[in-house]
Amino acid sequence: MAPDRDPLILVLNAGSSTLKHASYQGLHCMSQGTIECGEADYPSTIGKLLNDASWNAVAFRIVHGGNDLTAPVIVTDSVIETLERTIPLAPLHQPPALSAIRTVGSLLPSTPRIACFDTAFHATLPEVEQRFAIPDRYIQTGIRRYGFHGLSYESIASQLHGISERAARGKTIVCHLGNGASLCGLDRCISRYTTMGLTPIDGLIMGTRCGRIDVGVAIHWMREGMNAQQIEKILTKESGLAALSNGTSDMRALVERADEDPRCALAIEMFCRSIAKEVAAAATAIGGLDCLVFTAGIGENSDVVRRRVVARLQWLGGAIDEQANQRGETRLNTLSSSFEVLRIATDEQQIIAGHAIGLLKRSEAASL
Ligand code: ADP
């Protein structure tokens, strides 16, 4: 790495139909964007991004690290083999990410590739929260609660000390409410509880995912002749807010239409209830509630959702300052609220860039 400038990092987040990219110089974001493209287009699309600068590293957001990858790593052949074994745990997310990693490896073979995992932040979950009540022989095959959105929770945890010592040193529940939604119970900024499980289907109602549901529903459909792909499609792409409103999963549209369309009103009500109920469960699991944080697209932008969630937690002593809420300030609770309520913007890409820089420095120090 040239000693006279901060390293240049390209951050890639490969999804099933989009490739999100961001370029960083040190921790400063220079540009970012989203390209609609599938894996077949990666050689040309990623090729163009790689030509934009002389990158010190390319860093990837990877949804699942499985049991073995619990911290950011420099990608080697053995990391790729380990990641291949995680494909059955996240069949929709892992293949495009692996394909992007391979494409960069073939186009820029001597540039370090760095992988950061959404599951890694939850490696600290205690066994009582990781374990499902199923026989040991299945636990041994990796069936357990992993949790996701870890890079977002890490971003929030890294900002808490600068915002509230009570939140940073105490019990904080972070609600990541985007198209995917989950929450995380932090004790002193360490993950001790989360709502997503083996897959990102579990927990909160989401844009198009059902969230917590009786697994008997899936068994019933299998008896009726549906296969795994059909059930997965219903529960991940056709459910959630989109199913309840019979149309849209966009919270802005739901709020606009709620007065005249009872299905949109129901979708918002069920979404906010599912969040408040899980906050209570998380508070029980971590043994208290000092601070509730709202983040991601809906959490950062929807005063309606924040107000309704905190209203349902009034019995716990929560109270929101409605003016601060509507203005979208950082601190939203009233002085009399028993717990703090904060609105904090998440920045997963910056966390990934930071890990890449840290790993580059460590590998350079090791090779000196
Ligand atoms: P992703 O999980 O794809 O990263 P985001 O964190 O960008 O998602 O969140 C997307 C969600 O944020 C959408 O449901 C969208 O409706 C919602 N959203 C964005 N802006 C607003 C807003 N001003 N008011 C309400 N919801 C919003």
Per-residue pLDDT band at 243 (split at 50, 70, 90): very high
Which ligand 1 atom minimizes the distance to the CA of 249? 14
Q: Whose CA is nearest to atom 21 of ligand 1?
A: 301
- Is residue 298 over pLDDT 80? yes
The average pLDDT across 141-168 equals 97
What is the best residue among 179, 209, 244, 309 to mutate for testing ligand 1's pocket, by most ligand atoms within 8 Å of CB? 179
56: nearest Cα among 344, 361, 279 = 361
Does 179 sit in the ligand 1 pocket, CB within 6 Å?
Answer: yes
Cα-to-centroid distance, 290 and ligand 1 (Å): 26
The pLDDT, as a whole number, for residue 90 is 87
| Residue recorded with tokens 């717990």 | 339
Residue 207 Cα: closest atom of ligand 1: 14
CA-CA distance, 282 to 278, in Å (whole number)? Answer: 6
Tell which atom from ligand 1 comes closest to the C-alpha of 255: 25
Distance 346 CA to ligand 1 centre (A): 12
Distance CA 28, CA 38 (A): 28
For the Cβ of 251 lying below 6 angstroms from any atom of ligand 1, the answer is yes
Query: How do residues 311-321 score in pLDDT, each as one tens digit?
Result: 999 999 999 99
Q: Which helix (H) or strand (E) holds 12?
A: strand 8-14
Q: pLDDT tens, 200-214?
A: 999 999 999 999 999
118 is catalytic: yes
Instruction: Tell me, using a 6 A CB cutoff, whether residue 180 lines ligand 1.
Output: yes
Least confident of 280-289, 334-343, 357-366: 357-366
